[in-house]
Structure formats: structure tokens, C-alpha cells
Structure 1
Amino acid sequence: MKRFLPVCIIVFVLFSCSSVEKYNEKITTPHTVEALRSDIDHLYSQLKKNHPKLYQYISKSDLEFKFDSLKKSINTPLTSRAFYKKLAPVVAQVRQGHIALGSVSKQYKRKELKALNKKKFEFYDLEFDYLNDKLWVTNTRGYDSTLIGSELLKIEEDSTSNLVKTFKTRFASDGYNKTLYNSYVGKVFARLYFKEFGYKDSLKVVFKHADSIFSRTLKRVEKEKKKDTLKTDSLKVIKPKKRTPEERKDNRIANKKKRKYNRNHGFISKYDGYTRTFKFLDTSSTAVGYMKIKSFSNGNFKKFYEESFKKLDSAKTKNLIIDLRDNGGGRIAEISYLYGFLTNKKFKLIEESEVTNRLPYFNYLLANDMPVSLKVISTLFSPFIVTHNLIKTHKKNGKYYYKLRFAKEQNPHDLNYDEHIYVLINGNSFSASSLLSTHLKATNRAVFVGEETGGAYNGCVAGIYKVYKMPESQLKIRMGLMQIETPYKQEPDGYGILPDYEVLPVINFEDPTNDNQLNWVLQDIKKRKDN
């Protein structure tokens, strides 16, 4: 047994190295025309088999024509990345924002990964907004703050305008909405660049600040090591002061309190910030509650909302602003819980979800990209999964429907807020944030300010997802398996929640806290109070 374990480790390491080399060779070697056309057939077959609303925004004949045209256009061998660039624009024509086609990137051996993790790429420290057909640097996360307010003109030999135009063909909003494209391309520009071009050690980037045009070479550099506050020089070491029992107890209580706060607010260590925050805005005349929710994806949301609405109730706050700008969605459970505080009536958050078969969770768990360990566990628990799916799924008018628990009627919270609500939205308000907005809009519960949401009023295909890996190119596509929609509908289909007052964003680099959309709401509150 003692000899067996080291042998297993050696075999595992050798197998891993071999797998990495084979994978890298596979994605960089041009694939035959026949193999790529076969991948297209496999992809389209998976979409037809699993996506319940594939032809919602494009007719079957039009989509089949586009896939056939793509197959005919491939007449020479292509690498996986080159294939991605041809395939992504066609997939985007489905106009279902939750369908995402991934590119490929080189894999690394353990030693290589260890070395890479000690470095960071300066380009990824930059954050952008795309506004007025220009890409602006809005944050540098400690790199060089003088770049904030600069326009990015060029990367290597590619102009920003051409890059943005190309990147916009790689993804889709829900339906025919246009506001998502500018919002999304700015926020994830660095990620889209990586998908398009892969790993880079350095990039020559041209900026414009005021009337000055200059270039920087952004490199992969060593990460800053945490400073050792105990060392004053290489010779002298200061021993830490020994804490008293009372100090240690106070420190434990403070750390526990901090961890609880971080959980409730959804702390994001990468950005040193929180997913959800609440505060009162002092407008000199009246207190206004302001709730910023960046996503519905992490943290103990129940505690956060309970504490926030208790504060609103105690302060007898007459106005609440919910900021859903750049909120890409997340958990249905969270928006269901939040909406219970925003209504005083019984409600059903969503309808029963349309699916393509009676075992939707099997489609998710047994996807060809799932780890073998998870497939084994799924197989072991298959009797329970099958039974659960069969109970939850039923057939109606020739279609299958899965009943999530949020399709049941729910009661509002006892502490529901019944005063005036404003909701800030933009093109990046998507998925779950759009579902919440649909309810508030349909029931005339809130005043919406900003831009049309990128997520559709009439719902989206999400819930659970299947990731399918194409056998030849190794490209992966993620697709939703459930049609998630509220009881409310609007015509025409394929558009987001429209603002009651359209207020386009303006970036103020001299004073980033000067938010023109939020200021509009505060001025409206003052105007209403004066009247």
C-alpha cells in the first residue's frame, strides 16, 4: 500500500501533463472542414434538443439558413479560435442572452500555473465604460490612477472602434434590445479581448487624455507581496506585542462581526467591495433610502434585506431608491425574497417553466463537460433525481413544464415597504434583475429611471444550464434549460423594461461620485416634496 500511493501520484501527474499537451495541440492544429461542419451540426442539434425557446426571436427557417451558410463558408481548415470567430456571430443571432459560446485558451502544467499565479497582467487592472462611441478608463485598481478619464484608442494594431464592433457580434441581449451592447462591451472589454486573442504577455496600448496621445506597454508583472509590518530591515525583527486575554477576546468578536457583515453584504475580495449595500442619503430636507445591488449572486441576502427594511421602517423613510444598474442577475430565490418587501399583496413570482423533456436536471448533470466524479454521483442518486423530476414536471398542450417553488403564490413580508420607490436601470440590468423590474413595472409599484434593461420584460431561458463541449474544436456552449417568466407580458415581445424617465449616463471623471442619474432622482424627490 505504501508503494502503491506514490505510483498512483506519479501516474496521475504524467497523465495530466500528457492531457495538457494533447489539448493544446488539438486546439492549435487546424481542424478539417468535415470535422468543423460536424461540430456545427452537433451544436445545432443540442440547441434544438435542450432550448425551449430557440425560435422565439428568429424563425426556424432563418436560423437553419444561417447555420447552413456557415457550414458552406468553411472551406479551409481552421484552428479552434478561428472557428470560434466564425461561429459566435451565428449563435448570437438566436438573440437569447443566456446562450454563451466560449472560446479556447491554452492549458498549463502545474509548475507553469504556479509561476503564472505569481504574476498579474496590468491590462486586467483597467476597468472601462463604453459611452458616446468611446471606450473610457474608469478605474485602474491601483495600477496608475492618472489613466482614469483616458480614452483607449488602440491595442497593438487594432483600433478600439473596430474591436468594439467585432466584440458586439460575439454575444446577444434578450430579443431585439440594443442598450445591452454598449453597456456590456465596456464592462467586460478585457474579458472579450482575451476570448478573441488569447493569452498575452504584453500589449501596446494607445490612450488619449485631453489633447495628449500616448502609449503604454502593459505587461505581466510580479504581484506585490504583502508587506511584513514586523520587519524594519533585514537584520532587526520586531516581535509582535503580546495581547492580553481581553484584547484577544475583543479581536475575536470584531473579526466575527466583520465576517458576518461580509457574508450579509456579499463581499467580493477581488474588488474589495460588496455585492449589496444600503445607506441613507441626506438630502437636507428628508432621508432617502438607497439600496445598491450589483448582483443577486452571493452572500446571506435574507439578513441583509431584513436589516435594511427594518432601518427603513424605523426611520419612516418616504422614498427608497433601488439601484439595479449593471446588475447581471443571479438567484431567483433572492429576488423573490426582496420582492416580498416591496409589495403588500400576495404574488406569484414566476409561471411554471417550459422545458424540453421531463428530466431537465439530468440534461444538466450528465452534460458531456461535467466532471466524471459528478456524473458518478448523479448516477448513484439517479432514482431520486428521476423521481423528483417526474413529480415536478407535467405535460400541457404538447409542451413540458417544470414547477419551481417560486411558481407558487407567496405572501408579502410583514415589514413590507409601502412608500415611494425609484428603480435605476441600464443595459446591463439583466436576467433576474429584469424579472424583478417586470413585477415592479407591471404593478406600477416603482418609477423607473435610466435606460431600457438588457434583459427582456417577457422573461428569459435560464434557471439551470447545460454546457456542451464540441468534440472536434473543444469549444463550449452554455444554454439555459428553463423558460423563466413572470405572469406579466408586454407587446411587442423581445424588449426590456423601459424607463419612465430616460436619463442617459454621463461620466464625470473630476468627481466620480457625481452620478447624474441618481441626481435626477434626488431632484425629483425634492420637486415632489415641494409640490
Structure 2
Amino acid sequence: MKKILVPFFTILVFSCFSSSNCLVAQETLKKEQLLEDFQIFESSLRQNHPQLFLYTSEQKLDSFFINAKKLIKNEMSPIEFYKILTPILPMVGNNHTNILPPKSFVEFISTETKRLPFSFFYKNDTLYVLEDVSKEYLIGEGSIVTAINGLEVSSIIHKFLENITTDGYNKTQPVYRASRGFSRYFGYYFGFPETFEVRYIDSGGKSRIAVIEAITLKEISKNRKSRNTTLTNGREDYRFEVVDDIGIITVRTFSLSNPKLFKRFLRETFQEIDTKDISTLLIDLRDNMGGYPEASNQLLEYLINETITPYKLEYAITDNIFNHEYFEDDIYFKHFKRQNLVEREGKYFVKGAVDTKLMPNKYAYNMELFILMNASSSSTTGQLIGLIKAYTEAIFIGEESGGNPVGIVANDILTLMLPNSKIEVKLPVIYSELNVDFQNSGRGIIPDIPITQTIDDLLKGKDTTLEHALKWISTN
């Protein structure tokens, strides 16, 4: 029976992040309410998450829960409480486990709140300006930011990384997230002031200081459009081309709006490769953050030369979600309740998961194969890259892939709604382990040929990473 929650005491207040900027009206929650949310949060993770202690020992997580609980004060806003919870994310080390602020807070900062008007690129401990969409337009693209409001960039990034979800010990993905979500994370952990004092090094190497006015996302979008910055360029979901006798298949997502069209694209593409006798193939999986395994498996069938069983095992640790009354009754929750689970030695295995077999397609490719990847090659794409490594002779180019190539907790991602703070916890409940011949190191696939983007590459608006990859392939 669902518990009826009666607030002990709430006061409508303004969460002010500076003396001149009050952000949004929020309820201040009493300690009893926050402790109730914390207990639901902790017990839900312990009883439902199948790999909670994969990268951090139970003893260390016990210490986290004890110490985090001590930080709860007599009165706190939901976003203050949120910041107590998020340090657990890199400890769990699962990219699909996440904690989100209340929707009302996210909506407000997306529509009304003013923020830092820049996009950044962080590389080798250096924060470059990728887009200057400020009113002043003083700093400019390519400049190096060294401090914001007296905070050194290194300490800012370190704070982000302490609170960002990632897979295991991955080195590329959390940094990518930190730089691309910089202004939002800065607001979460350092506030939303009216102005920013930015210390930077300009294109001439001279140290400067600029005071930049915070502006809304609407104003940022307007400035971006008027200045026609490189980040406005879109990309196709998938395509095929031939450059200097090298076939290039680009797939940017496996979350396809029309799976039949993708299936036809693969068939026609590999028929063309066979007809034209193309002996070198590059598959570009950069910025592909995953999607449906069925779609990635369709591509894999054109790359293998033997029948394979992709999954070694797949299981949950419960067949009845603990604290189920606090989870949203969405399609994922309903799907989990329909899962055909078989109990064995305290685990609940998904029946038939290990029986899945993939057979080589009639036009399967068996010549020289290269995979281009980066920090955003994650989730389903990370799995695909792991299977390609295990079952082909492919050479990997680019950056460490963002996903885990051995095991992933990503199926049936349920939404836990903490009843008082309205904080959302994304909690996957099924663990899948791939049938590969290497162990889980907590890292993505490390490239055989490292090629990384530079700020100059990005500012040119050209895909110089692909150019470098093609040059290496042709030369070698």
C-alpha cells in the first residue's frame, strides 16, 4: 500500500546564488523529509541495482551513505540535497545510472535562468572556448579560459568529474560530458550569478580579464544563429561514401526512427561494397551514443564470418522491484514486469537471452576493416565495438570508446521519483555481459591508432579527424 506523504513543514523561498540573482522559488524541505528520501534512495539502489559494487567495494559505498546522510541539514532545498547524492555516480560507474534535479528546477533554468554564454572544449587540462555566444563577444573562439569568478578551471572540472555518471574508469567520456555541459554543471555546483569574471589567454597568448553578462538560453540560441557558429552544423543518421577507394560507413545513432530504412541501407551498402570489390572499409561510430541493440546487431552481421552468441548472461537481482510504489509506472517498468525471469542462485536470469545468435550476412565483409570512435561511442555502440574487437580483425582509430565493451547495466531503465524532493533517479535493473574473450578492465576499447580532435580541428568546421584517419590508412 502506497504511503501517504504529509509534509512536515515547507516554506516557499527563493534560492539565491548571488546577492543580485534569485533563481527560482523552491520548497525548503525539513530534515525528516530529506532523510525519508535518502532512505528510499539508498535502499532502492541496494535492492535493485545488479552491479552496485562492481567498481567500488560495498564497504566504501557504506561509508558514502553514512557520510552523505550526515550532510543533511535541518532545512535544505531540493538542489542542495541533489548535490549530496550525485557523488555516488562515478563510484557506481554505470553510464545509465543517473540522478536528475527536479523537473521544475530543470525547466526553470532552461527557460528563465541566465547562464555562462560559452561552449567549451576541454583537452589536456586546457579549457578552450568553442563558441562565444555572449553579448560582449570579447573573448572569442579558440581562447583559453584559466579561471571563472576566481575559481581555477582545474578545480571546476574536478568538481564536475566528482559528480558525473560514467562507465567504470573511462577516461574520455566524463571529460567530454564535463566540457559540453559546462554552463549547466557550473550552475548546479557553483550557482547562477548575473555576471562572470573570466580570466583567459587570447589568440595572441596575452592574459586578459573580461566581465561577461549572464544570458538566457533563448538569447544564447539567438546569438548562435546570428553568428553562424560551427556547432550549428547537423549530421545525417547514417550514410555511405567512397573516398580514395576507401569505403566509409557513418552511423551516428542506433535510435532509429525507421528501422526498415536502416536495414535496407545496410543491405544496399554492402551489396555495393561487394560489387565494387572495395577492399578497405572504415566504419565511423563517433558521437553514436547508442540506441537499439537490434540495429547494432544488424550492422554486426555484415562484419562477422561465423555464427556468434553475443550475450554470455543477462540477469536482475530481483523479480519484484523494491520500493516499487516510488517508481514511475512507465513503459520500462511495465516491460520489466513482463520479463521472463528464471531464478538461480539468488539471481533472476532473463530466459532466452543467451540463446540469441547472429549469423553472417550473405554480403558479409571480410577484408580490411577500421573502426573510428570517440568518447561518445557509448551504450549500445560501446557493446558493438566490444563485439567487433572480439570477432573481427578490425583496427581501432580515434579515442577510447565511451561505453563498456564487456558488461553493461542498461536494460529496463526505471525512474525512481523521490517523493519529497522530486529528484529523479534513473536506475537500470538488468545486467548484460557480452560473450567476448577479454576481461572487464573498466575502460572502453583503447585505440590502436590514437587520433584526437584539437581545438583547431573544431574551429575549422571540417572533419579533420576523419581526414587524418584516411591519411593514416592510405599511408599504411
Cα RMSD of the aligned pairs, angstroms, is 3.9
Shift of 1:205: 5.1
Name the CA shift for 1:189/1:107 in 2 (closer, same or farther; >3 Å). Answer: closer
Q: Is the 8 A contact 1:336 1:406 kept in 2?
A: no
More helix by share: 1
Distance across 2 between alignment mates of 1:432 and 1:127: 27
Uncovered stretches (5+) of structure 2, i.e. residues with no partner? 1-10, 16-23, 224-230
Q: 1:436 aligns with which of 384, 388, 391?
A: 384
Distance across 2 between alignment mates of 1:306 and 1:81: 49
Shift of 1:302: 2.3
Alignment of 1:128-277 (within 5 A): 128-139=120-131, 147-196=140-189, 207-210=200-203, 211-212=205-206, 213=208, 215=210, 216-220=212-216, 273-277=234-238
Amino acid at match of 2:215: K
Is it true that 1:487 corresponds to 2:435 in the alignment? yes
Name the CA shift for 1:420/1:23 in 2 (closer, same or farther; >3 Å). Answer: farther
* Secondary structure of 1:460's aligned partner: strand
Is it true that 1:38 corresponds to 2:31 in the alignment? no
TM-score normalized with structure 2 length: 0.79
Q: Is the 8 A contact 1:434 1:457 kept in 2?
A: yes
Structure with greater Cα Rg: 1
473-482 or 154-163, larger mean C-alpha shift: 154-163
Shift of 1:432: 1.1
Shift of 1:446: 0.9
Distance across 2 between alignment mates of 1:271 and 1:368: 40
Shift of 1:63: 1.0
Q: Is the 8 A contact 1:106 1:199 kept in 2?
A: no
Shift of 1:367: 6.3
* Secondary structure of 2:378's aligned partner: coil
1:165-202 deviations in whole A, cap 9, x for unaligned?
11111123222232322222223323433444677777
**Aligned residue in 1 for 2:349:** 401
Distance across 2 between alignment mates of 1:204 and 1:522: 42
Distance across 1 between alignment mates of 2:63 and 2:182: 31
Q: 1:497 aligns with which of 441, 445, 463?
A: 445
1:86-132 deviations in whole A, cap 9, x for unaligned?
221134312222211112364599xx99xx86x997856x4432102
More strand by share: 2
Uncovered stretches (5+) of structure 1, i.e. residues with no partner? 1-20, 226-269
**Aligned residue in 1 for 2:249:** 291
Amino acid at match of 1:276: D
* Secondary structure of 1:28's aligned partner: strand
187-196 or 270-279, larger mean C-alpha shift: 270-279
Is it true that 1:464 corresponds to 2:464 in the alignment? no
* Secondary structure of 2:305's aligned partner: coil
Amino acid at match of 1:74: I
Distance across 1 between alignment mates of 2:153 and 2:336: 49
Distance across 1 between alignment mates of 2:373 and 2:462: 17
Name the CA shift for 1:327/1:475 in 2 (closer, same or farther; >3 Å). Answer: same
Alignment of 1:418-433 (within 5 A): 418-433=366-381
Q: Is the 8 A contact 1:123 1:190 kept in 2?
A: yes
Distance across 1 between alignment mates of 2:198 and 2:103: 22
Q: Is the 8 A contact 2:286 2:374 kept in 1?
A: yes
503-512 or 157-166, larger mean C-alpha shift: 503-512
Distance across 1 between alignment mates of 2:187 and 2:125: 21
Aligned residues: 442
Distance across 1 between alignment mates of 2:417 and 2:115: 31
**Aligned residue in 2 for 1:526:** 474
**Aligned residue in 2 for 1:476:** 424
**Aligned residue in 2 for 1:337:** 298
**Aligned residue in 1 for 2:226:** none
Shift of 1:369: 5.2
432-441 or 181-190, larger mean C-alpha shift: 181-190
* Secondary structure of 1:31's aligned partner: strand
Distance across 1 between alignment mates of 2:134 and 2:277: 40
Shift of 1:434: 1.2
22-31 or 169-178, larger mean C-alpha shift: 22-31
Amino acid at match of 2:123: L
Q: Is the 8 A contact 1:42 1:470 kept in 2?
A: yes
User: Equivalent pairs: percent with the same residue?
Assistant: 24
